[in-house]
Amino acid sequence: MRVLVQKYGGTSVANLECMNKVREKVLISLDKGYKVIVVLSAMSGETNRLIDLARQWSHRPDPCEMDVLLATGEQTSVSLFAMLLKDCGVKARSLLGFQVPIQTDKSFGKARILDIDNERIEEILEKYDVLVVAGFQGCDCSQRITTLGRGGSDTSAVALAAAINAETCEIYTDVDGVYTTDPNICPQARKIKKIAYDEMLEMASMGAKVLQIRSVEFAKKYNVPIHVRSTFSDGPGTLVVQEDKSMEAAMVSGVAYDKDQARITLVGVYDEPGVAAKIFEPISRANIVVDMIVQNPSREGKTDMTFTVPKGNVEDTLNILKKAQADIGAQAILHDVDVAKVTVIGVGMRNHSGVAAIAFSALKNENINIMIISTSEIKISCLIEEKYTELAIRTLHEAFGLDQEAPRKEC
Ligand code: ASP
Ligand code: MG
């Protein structure tokens, strides 16, 4: 039995016209001899509408009931789509998360998938040609409904593909693939044909919203090839797959950015064991995600510590730091919310030298000051003034020749 998993996002199931397009895609795959597991999101805007509704009812909506509510979005789309398929004679049925079952932990609102009963799916697939599965939802060990976090249908699809060993997990959306950078900012942005899981993780964590980060982690762990493509056109999209030699030819594969960053500097903290822990432990206990961290060399037993947090967490972080201020000896606590992070990403960095120099001189040519630099094996991030974000993206995109198909420099 050849099985394909196809996930369609909210804009692909927004109304009857869109759902008819989705049906065409599914029928084509059936014609090719596949059985199809279709994973659907809620119709676009529906999850937001439900969240607003809950907020009108309750100041602090109960997390368990919130998941019961949010899961109705996907329940609506799978039932409607299964009707459409049946109307044209397809053997199809809908399945909610708990019916599969997609077993998750108990973290309501951001549950993690623990197990999917593949034998049961295979059994149901004997009787049906298409299973229309509600994305974004599962159930915990006490049969309570859980949801997987915003964008979670991607993860449902990849997890199902992993469970039944599907050939590919196709993610259909309203864009035709993953681009070298945001095409709204840089018109020269190009669709990437093939990208490595690690590169995609960096792009996704930097706000390229095409795939939920967790779905890419899942795909990497179980080696599920993802094909991101458009519901509204037929061309090939972007393959998200295991790294291979061909990917190393390009120095850089993409430029990402994150405007949701704020910079915090602790001036003159003691330079002695335990100070960093005193700073970051309470921040992490408050579930605040710290990103870039820089500590300056010490002068007379004192040092400056600079780091970034999401803009929405600045107030909380400052309050935490004020409590620790005397203990860590900070002379002042400074912050700046008008900052953004631009990042160049590419597995090719591992075997090309000079990538950082190209990035820095490109920014210099536009007179953009770099406040913090952080690197990993496959990325270089620079924190800059927020107002230069677009300019920095365009200049980096050009400096690495990302508008051209062929890699600029061979290894
Ligand atoms: N409906 C959910 C959301 O809007 C899940 C998804 O679409 O992937 O986040
Ligand atoms: Mg999505």
Residue 150 CA: nearest ligand 1 atom is 9
Pocket test for ligand 1, best of 76, 150, 209 (most atoms within 8 A of CB): 150
Buried b (16+ CB within 10 A) or exposed e, 156-175: bbbbbbbbbebebbbbbbeb
User: Cα 245 from chain centroid?
Assistant: 25
Distance (angstroms) between ligand 1 centre and the Cα of 152 equals 6
pLDDT band at 208 (very low <50, low <70, confident <90, very high): low
pLDDT digits (tens, 9 = 90+) for 301-318: 999 999 999 999 999 999
Could you tell me if the CB of 138 is within 6 A of ligand 1? no
CATH of the domain at 137: 3.40.1160.10
Residue 205 is predicted with a pLDDT of 72
Residue 92 is predicted with a pLDDT of 98
Pocket test for ligand 1, best of 41, 148, 214, 218 (most atoms within 8 A of CB): 41
Q: By alpha-carbon position, which residue is closest to atom 8 of ligand 1?
A: 151
Place of tokens 């009108």: 56
Residues 387 and 297 in one domain: yes
Rounded CA gap, 230 and 262, in Å? Answer: 34
* Percent of residues in the chain assigned helix, strand, coil, to nearest 5: 40, 25, 35
Alpha-helix residue ranges (DSSP H) falling in 96-212: 118-127, 153-163, 197-205
CATH of the domain at 325: 3.30.2130.10
**Residue 140 falls inside a structural domain:** yes
Ligand nearest to the CA of 212: 2
Q: Domain boundary at 139, 174, 209, which? A: 174
pLDDT band at 137 (very low <50, low <70, confident <90, very high): very high
Global pTM reads 0.89
Alpha carbon of 98 to those of 71, 136, 163: distances in Å?
A: 11, 11, 16
pLDDT band at 299 (very low <50, low <70, confident <90, very high): confident
Could you tell me if the CB of 151 is within 6 A of ligand 1? yes
Residue 291 is predicted with a pLDDT of 93
Residue 409 is predicted with a pLDDT of 46
User: Cα 258 from chain centroid?
Assistant: 12
Residues 158 and 290 in one domain: no
Residues 139 and 41 in one domain: yes
Distance (angstroms) between ligand 2 centre and the Cα of 213 equals 10
Residues 131 and 276 in one domain: no
Residue 392 is predicted with a pLDDT of 98
Residue 207 is predicted with a pLDDT of 59
Residues 168 and 266 in one domain: no
Distance (angstroms) between ligand 2 centre and the Cα of 409 equals 34
- Cβ proximity of 372 and 343 under 8 Å: no
**From 28-32, 88-92, 351-355, 378-382, the region with the lowest mean pLDDT:** 351-355
Buried b (16+ CB within 10 A) or exposed e, 229-253: bbbeeeeebbbbbebeeebbebbbb
pLDDT band at 410 (very low <50, low <70, confident <90, very high): very low
**Residue 294 falls inside a structural domain:** yes
Does the pLDDT value for residue 411 go beyond 50? no
pLDDT band at 355 (very low <50, low <70, confident <90, very high): very high
Distance (angstroms) between ligand 2 centre and the Cα of 230 equals 12
Which tokens sit at 381?
């991030």
Rounded CA gap, 273 and 285, in Å? Answer: 20
Does the pLDDT value for residue 113 go beyond 80? yes
Residue 406 is predicted with a pLDDT of 53
pLDDT digits (tens, 9 = 90+) for 180-207: 999 999 999 999 999 999 999 998 876 5
Q: Domain boundary at 141, 174, 207, which? A: 174
Place of tokens 């190393």: 248
The pLDDT of 258-274, averaged and rounded, is 95
Residues 271 and 147 in one domain: no
Task: Give the three-state DSSP class for 109.
Answer: coil
Distance (angstroms) between ligand 1 centre and the Cα of 150 equals 5
Give the range of the structural domain holding residue 60, as residue numbers without chain letter: 3-174
pLDDT digits (tens, 9 = 90+) for 3-34: 999 999 999 999 999 999 999 999 999 999 99
Residue 161's contacts (CB-CB under 8 Å, 6 or more residues apart) are 5, 37, 168, 169, 224
| Number of domains comprising the chain | 2
Q: Domain boundary at 151, 174, 197, which? A: 174
Residues 156 and 299 in one domain: no
Residue 39 is predicted with a pLDDT of 98
Ligand nearest to the CA of 174: 2
Pocket test for ligand 1, best of 67, 136, 209 (most atoms within 8 A of CB): 136
Does the pLDDT value for residue 1 go beyond 90? no
